[in-house]
Structure 1
């Protein structure tokens, strides 16, 4: 397989980096999906790996095999094809592999995880409750993870983006649910501070209407009747990222849509509030791992939305 990503989460203690240093584990395919997000298909056998407080949250799906893989710090429980593991940022684990198996990993930084959840569910980023899980069955997570593995093997960016959106959609928090911490099980309580949902919707609507213009912190703070400093703090609590990062994500999201048309890239840059085509290129590449021109080719930009391609979707 091809399309192995050349860049990965930059911190040295990600799960990806631990596997990369293994003399046995082998990356078969992968794809960079922008800041703090990447997918890799692995193969491993006869190995012992220990993750100590790793950076980034990792979702894992066993694609083939796995019965020879045991988690030693969880009583030696063994895996199986279709098993899912969720390893939140900072949660260590110890594994022994005694037989060949193939699996996919999705790596998400804390900011990418929580902001993606907040965008998908139009909710406070802190409402995400993601407990650690070892060898569970969850079809809602398994399906998008399998699609991410296929997208990484094929280099299909649109397929990967769709699968990632589906995975965020599968992450739900039930009102009043309990969650487990290292100190024990606690009841989910009310969220404190942050911005009210109607304020967040007002801010989002205003950003969408002014995306082709310069947007300042004072503009956004005025919508909430707060100082810039206080708005910045409260927004970050609610959305998981700073206001400027949220606006930039919206600019990139609109550029993604427009790049599927035949509109000139310079015009897209202006429509999305970038100062120039080169500015769009720098920011777009940082967020997606693609240049605008490369992304347009990858998603078949210039065709009408929904136009058939020479290949059927997988």
Structure 2
């Protein structure tokens, strides 16, 4: 009993500085930002878990150790003096694509100036974008590590993202992100767990019909004829997101469509099931990096 009490109190004790050091994970952006040689030329935040940065680097050595988030890179200018030292010292070139999935270590040596664009995506943003684009189980997504690859389908949207970052053009960036997800072809695979496609479709149709209401986990589980516990586990396996996160995204996407009409923002918030307008403001700021009013102005200006 004494040991158990000690464990409970340890769990409830406030974390120390060293606890934070142990759990903190740096992204590729963080590693580059700490380098005295790497220079940021443009940066565009696209909401929680998504960002675009144009970098220039020279005379540097960089090690990405178990980085957070997934990084997709396109070399814009130069690159022949850039080597991946832990992968046979291959060198880059203009137009080369690199893919660095979350948690994959890599070491780089830069001997000549070069410029490149990075797209950073959290696992949650990557999963939701893939599922929404391809309307399929997230386990059909395959993101393999790549170094100095020729991949025109991925290079084209990454180049558009670089142009959007230079211009601070969120609308162009949103279009490029959509094309990027379209370039991630679903793989063929057999799946023994999770929810079947027709059950997922039924749940999505039910969510769309009830977005204006409060939606509970039990409500969604009923559509799959499962307990709340098993539904949550199997939904996350298939979608890559928790059910509540998926519903919030659907509310946000519905609101984005309605913001291109003349409906008052407060009415849109209610129609999409947000508890109030300020709630929708917070969700938009976190998910898209902008407010509903700013989103409306941006899309009206671009139409």
TM-score, normalising length from structure 2? 0.89
> Does 1:25 find its partner at 2:38?
yes
Deviation at residue 63 of structure 1 after TM alignment: 0.8
Identify the residue that residue 312 of structure 1 maps to in structure 2: none
Within 2, Cα distance between the matches of 1:124 and 1:215?
Answer: 22
The two structures, once aligned, show a CA RMSD in angstroms of: 1.5
- Name the SS of the counterpart of 2:136 in structure 1: coil
Within 1, Cα distance between the matches of 2:258 and 2:112?
Answer: 47
> Would the aligned equivalents of 1:114 and 1:126 in 2 still touch at CA under 8 Å?
no
- Name the SS of the counterpart of 1:250 in structure 2: helix
> Does 1:165 find its partner at 2:178?
yes
> Would the aligned equivalents of 1:145 and 1:163 in 2 still touch at CA under 8 Å?
yes
Bigger helix share: 2
Identify the residue that residue 130 of structure 1 maps to in structure 2: 143
Identify the residue that residue 271 of structure 1 maps to in structure 2: 271
Within 2, Cα distance between the matches of 1:16 and 1:108?
Answer: 11
- Name the SS of the counterpart of 2:283 in structure 1: helix
Which protein has the larger Cα radius of gyration, Structure 1 or Structure 2? 2
Within 2, Cα distance between the matches of 1:85 and 1:228?
Answer: 40
Identify the residue that residue 73 of structure 2 maps to in structure 1: 60
- Name the SS of the counterpart of 2:52 in structure 1: strand
Identify the residue that residue 19 of structure 2 maps to in structure 1: none
Within 1, Cα distance between the matches of 2:207 and 2:61?
Answer: 49
> Would the aligned equivalents of 2:67 and 2:103 in 1 still touch at CA under 8 Å?
yes
Deviation at residue 43 of structure 1 after TM alignment: 1.0
- Name the SS of the counterpart of 2:95 in structure 1: coil
- Name the SS of the counterpart of 1:62 in structure 2: strand
Deviation at residue 12 of structure 1 after TM alignment: 4.4
Structure 1 gaps of 5+ residues are: 1-10, 176-188, 308-314
Residues 1-314 of structure 1 aligned to structure 2 (within 5 Å): 12-175=25-188, 190-300=190-300, 307=303
Within 2, Cα distance between the matches of 1:103 and 1:82?
Answer: 9
Superposed CA offset, 1:30-71 (max 9, x none): 111122111111111111110011111100000111111111
- Name the SS of the counterpart of 2:74 in structure 1: strand
How many aligned residue pairs are there?
Answer: 281
TM-score, normalising length from structure 1? 0.86
> Would the aligned equivalents of 1:71 and 1:78 in 2 still touch at CA under 8 Å?
yes
- Name the SS of the counterpart of 2:300 in structure 1: coil
